């Protein structure tokens, strides 16, 4: 069993491995490489798909209202809370854009931890959907705030976002039509022999990879999140295992960039940013889970903040306009993930069911082998008088 300490050490080891590779090979400006850009975008896309493909659809429908609130008002509230902390500490208005970059929850990390989580299906559906669909909101906020910082350009930015949204929906629509044509046959094949099942699953995996390649190539990642809601090859626990592997690859990719951009001053800013992001999630999650049905999952949802590829990609996009963004956001990602591992581990230990105490065996009095016979007591009798 992977303990929080082991997981935290593994995360730091993955970061150090990426850092060491970049340092040994003298890699500079890794983030400007098209190969690096495609790699991290592909990891992010897989995270979106893996997160939504594990959602229990019936629970997702039941919690749709809460999901919508979480990815709209919830994201705005988190940005406001994070920025409030950053402005109080550093008095720098430009930190608003950094608050946006870490306001979302990383879907790849959520997908990786889903199988080990003790949350109910309802809470897993809420957190997975929250992580998968808050990315477009943070991207839109990034467009607005960056345009505001540059004193113009908001209309063009919103226009490009609208076009991208339409293309996302179009790709998801094509995939849905394909699924309606083959879905019945896939379900019948799953009831057949092993060879037929494996062949059908292989074809579906190829179809998902093809759709995923198009989505990554043209940055249509929302389509992959929608795809995971219906286009689901029966791969057992492979998706969860690959998601966990992808999470560590993502942290190593952060190390590749951080090796050239690291600064102790900016790392300190990033540490405060990470703590603020984790605290903002706790506050917003507690506000969203007031109804009684969330009582058992409320703390775990509050401790659910994780950051990863989405924050890194936004930081890379912001770096030309806001130099030092990656050097702040990357340490914040590490701090958030360490806080997540430590706090969830502590809560799991605190709430672990304790075995009931074993009752002491009843003491049976020992009977002597040769008991001493009890003394005979004379029985009183009556004297019969004769008349």
CATH number at residue 172: 1.20.1530.20
pLDDT in the model for residue 148: 63
pLDDT > 90: percent of the chain: 15
Q: How big is the CA angle at 102 (ends 18 and 15), to the nearest 5 degrees?
A: 15
CA-angle at 247, arms to 242 and 248, nearest 5°: 105
Q: Would 380 be classed as within a structural domain?
A: no
pLDDT tens digits for range 69-124: 988 889 999 999 999 999 999 999 889 889 998 998 887 777 777 767 788 888 88
Assess contact for 238 and 103: CB atoms under 8 A.
no
Helices (H) and strands (E) in the chain, counts: 17, 0
Considering only residues 128 and 108, tell me which one the structure prediction assigns the higher pLDDT. 128
pLDDT of residue 152: 47
**Confidence grade of residue 156 (pLDDT, cut at 50, 70, 90):** very low
Would you say residue 374 lies in a domain?
no
Q: What is the mean pLDDT of the chain?
A: 80
| CA 34 and chain centroid, separation | 27
Q: Would the pLDDT of 190 be above 50?
A: yes
The number of domains in the chain is 1
Does 364 reside within a domain?
no
The whole-number pLDDT of residue 285 equals: 93
pLDDT at 81: 96
* The 3-state secondary structure of 320-378, one letter per residue: CCCCCHHHHHHHHHHHHHHHHHHHHHHHHHHHCCCCCCCCCCCCCCCCCCCCCCCCCCC
- pTM exceeding 0.75: no
Residue 149 domain flag = yes
Look at the block and give the residue holding tokens 């009843």: 362
- Give 204 or 31, the one with higher predicted confidence: 204
386 in any annotated domain: no
Please report where in the chains the tokens 């992580």 appear, as a residue. Answer: 131
Q: Domain for residue 38, yes or no? A: yes
User: 239 is in which domain, residue-wise?
Assistant: 4-351
For residue 102, give Cα distances in angstroms to 56, 172, 246. 26, 26, 19
Q: pLDDT digits over 214-257, tens only?
A: 988 887 888 888 888 888 877 767 777 787 788 788 778 878 87
Tokens, residue 342:
């430590």
281-323, pLDDT tens digit by residue?
999 999 998 888 888 889 999 998 988 777 877 787 777 678 8
Instruction: Taking each helix axis as running N to C, give the angle between helix 75-90 and helix 264-288, from 0 to 180 degrees, rounded to the nearest 10.
Output: 140
d(CA 301, CA 285): 6
Q: Is residue 295 part of a domain?
A: yes
Inform me whether the pLDDT recorded for 186 exceeds 90. Answer: no
Cβ pair 102, 273 in contact under 8 A:
yes
Q: Could you tell me if 261 and 326 are in contact, meaning their C-beta atoms sit under 8 angstroms apart?
A: yes
User: What ranges in 191-297 are assigned the alpha helix state H?
Assistant: 194-217, 221-227, 238-261, 264-288
Q: Is 323 exposed, middle or buried (0-12, 13-18, 19+ CB in 10 A)?
A: exposed
Asked whether residue 365 is domain-assigned, the answer is: no
What pLDDT, on the 0 to 100 scale, is given for residue 155? 42
């Amino acid at each position: 069993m992977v303990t929080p300490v082991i997981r935290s050490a593994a995360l730091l080891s993955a970061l150090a491995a990426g850092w060491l590779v970049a340092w040994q090979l003298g890699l500079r400006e890794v983030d400007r490489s098209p190969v690096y850009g495609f790699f991290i975008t592909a990891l992010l896309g897989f995270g979106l798909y893996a997160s939504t493909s594990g959602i229990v659809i019936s629970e997702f429908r039941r919690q749709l209202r809460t999901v919508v609130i979480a990815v709209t008002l919830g994201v705005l509230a988190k940005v406001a809370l994070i920025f409030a902390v950053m402005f109080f500490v550093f008095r720098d208005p430009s930190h608003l854009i950094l608050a946006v970059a870490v306001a979302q929850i990383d879907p790849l990390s959520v997908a990786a931890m889903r199988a080990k989580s003790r949350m109910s299906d309802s809470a897993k559906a809420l957190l997975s959907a929250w992580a998968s669909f808050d990315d477009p909101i943070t991207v839109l906020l990034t467009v607005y705030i960056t345009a505001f910082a540059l004193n113009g350009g908001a209309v063009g930015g919103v226009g490009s976002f609208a076009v991208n949204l339409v293309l996302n929906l179009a790709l998801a629509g094509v995939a849905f039509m394909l699924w309606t044509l083959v879905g019945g046959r896939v379900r019948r094949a799953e009831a057949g022999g092993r060879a037929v099942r494996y062949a059908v699953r292989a074809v579906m995996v190829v179809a998902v990879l093809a759709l995923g390649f198009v989505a990554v190539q043209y940055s249509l990642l929302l389509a992959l999140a929608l795809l995971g809601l219906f286009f689901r090859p029966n791969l057992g626990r492979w998706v969860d295992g690959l998601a966990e592997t992808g999470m560590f690859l993502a942290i190593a990719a952060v190390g590749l960039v951080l090796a050239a951009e690291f600064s102790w001053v900016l790392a300190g800013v990033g540490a405060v940013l990470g703590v603020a992001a984790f605290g903002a999630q706790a506050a917003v999650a507690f506000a969203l889970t007031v109804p009684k049905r969330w009582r058992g999952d409320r703390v775990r949802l509050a401790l659910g903040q994780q950051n990863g590829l989405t924050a890194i990609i936004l930081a890379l996009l912001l770096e030309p306009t806001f130099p030092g963004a990656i050097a702040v956001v990357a340490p914040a990602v590490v701090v958030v993930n360490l806080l997540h591992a430590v706090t969830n581990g502590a809560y799991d230990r605190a709430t672990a069911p304790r075995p009931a105490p074993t009752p002491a065996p009843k003491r049976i009095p020992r009977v002597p082998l040769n008991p001493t016979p009890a003394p005979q007591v004379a029985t009183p009798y009556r004297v019969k008088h004769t008349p």
